[in-house]
């Protein structure tokens, strides 16, 4: 769990479901037992020493106005789709909770270098563009086969990798039902492989926590 500065102050950390209880216990041990309230659909923890933490629901979790119901929903297993893509590789997965039940990883050749200049450079650029379009089309075919039949049961679609590559795949009209499920969360992952897909699943389900330290 690596913290980074949060918009509006404080620091932000993604807490995977399996570590949420431990994180809450550690927060209480450091700052005292917090008072829990709801702010919108986020749980707000206000500790006796002035520390504040806001827990935001993970993608696909049902929205609730009760702190206990929020925490229960945050760790509950839900059907979700994963679509990770970069220019020459794609990984698509269907999972329930942390159980990756079906997946497909594919690689396509997309040229990364062009000639020095002139007409040759233009030919290389056109060729590369055509290769990228073909790769996006092949990736869309995988998503159609693996995820589209489950669109009604999926609670969300979490994407990651290269945003332009993902957008090109989801531009396929056949995937409109999946596009409606796309979460705001975008995962920063390397070139998609099976291990990358498996490692991305807990992150896709993580609770976003914004922490403000107590005043000095």
**From 77-91, 116-130, 152-166, the region with the lowest mean pLDDT:** 116-130
Provide the pLDDT confidence category of residue 64 given band limits of 50, 70 and 90: confident
State mean pLDDT over 177-200.
Answer: 96
DSSP output for 60-126: TPPP-S-HHHHHHHHHS--EEEEEEEETTEEEEEEEETTEEEEEEEEE--------SSHHHHHHHHH
Total-model pTM: 0.87
Both 95 and 196 in one domain: the answer is yes
Query: What CATH code is carried by the domain that includes residue 189?
Result: 3.30.420.60
Q: At what angle do helices 67-75 and 20-31 cross, to 10 degrees?
A: 140
Q: Kindly calculate the radius of gyration of the chain based on its CA atoms and give it in whole angstroms.
A: 20
Domain count for the chain: 2
Both 36 and 127 in one domain: the answer is no
The tokens for 41 are 């659909």
* Spatial distance between the Cα atoms of 166 and 160, rounded to a whole number of angstroms: 7
Both 108 and 28 in one domain: the answer is no
Both 84 and 180 in one domain: the answer is yes
Query: What is the share, in percent, of the chain residues with pLDDT greater than 90?
Result: 76
Whole-number pLDDT of residue 120: 60
Both 56 and 14 in one domain: the answer is yes
Q: In degrees rounded to 5, what are phi and psi of residue 147? A: -105, -35
* Spatial distance between the Cα atoms of 176 and 147, rounded to a whole number of angstroms: 12
* Spatial distance between the Cα atoms of 110 and 27, rounded to a whole number of angstroms: 47
Which tens digit of pLDDT belongs to each residue from 79-100? 999 999 998 899 999 999 999 9
Whole-number pLDDT of residue 131: 56
Residues in the chain, total: 216
Which tens digit of pLDDT belongs to each residue from 4-54? 888 888 999 999 999 999 999 999 999 999 999 999 889 999 999 999 999
By three-state DSSP, how is residue 151 classified?
A: coil
pLDDT averaged over the chain? 90
Whole-number pLDDT of residue 34: 96
Provide the pLDDT confidence category of residue 3 given band limits of 50, 70 and 90: confident
Provide the pLDDT confidence category of residue 127 given band limits of 50, 70 and 90: low
Both 97 and 197 in one domain: the answer is yes
Domain, as residue range, for 174: 79-204
């Amino acid at each position: 769990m690596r913290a980074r500065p949060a918009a509006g102050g404080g620091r932000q950390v993604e807490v995977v479901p399996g570590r949420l209880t431990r994180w809450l216990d550690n927060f209480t041990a450091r700052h005292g037992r917090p008072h829990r309230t709801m702010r919108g659909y986020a749980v707000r923890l206000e500790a006796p020493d002035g520390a504040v933490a806001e827990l935001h629901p993970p993608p696909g979790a049902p929205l609730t106005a009760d702190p206990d119901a929020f925490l229960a929903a945050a760790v509950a297993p839900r059907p979700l789709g994963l679509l990770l893509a970069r220019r020459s590789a794609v990984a698509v997965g269907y999972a329930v909770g942390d159980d990756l039940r079906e997946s497909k990883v594919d690689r396509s050749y997309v040229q990364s270098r062009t000639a020095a200049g002139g007409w040759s450079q233009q030919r290389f650029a056109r060729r590369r563009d055509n290769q990228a379009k073909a790769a996006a089309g092949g990736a869309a075919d995988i998503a159609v086969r693996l995820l589209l039949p489950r669109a009604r049961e999926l609670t969300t679609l979490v994407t990651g990798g290269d945003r332009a590559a993902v957008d090109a795949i989801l531009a396929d009209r056949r995937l409109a039902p999946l596009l409606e499920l796309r979460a705001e969360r975008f995962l920063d992952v390397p070139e998609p492989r099976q291990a990358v897909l498996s490692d991305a699943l807990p992150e896709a389900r993580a609770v976003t926590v914004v922490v403000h330290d107590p005043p000095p």
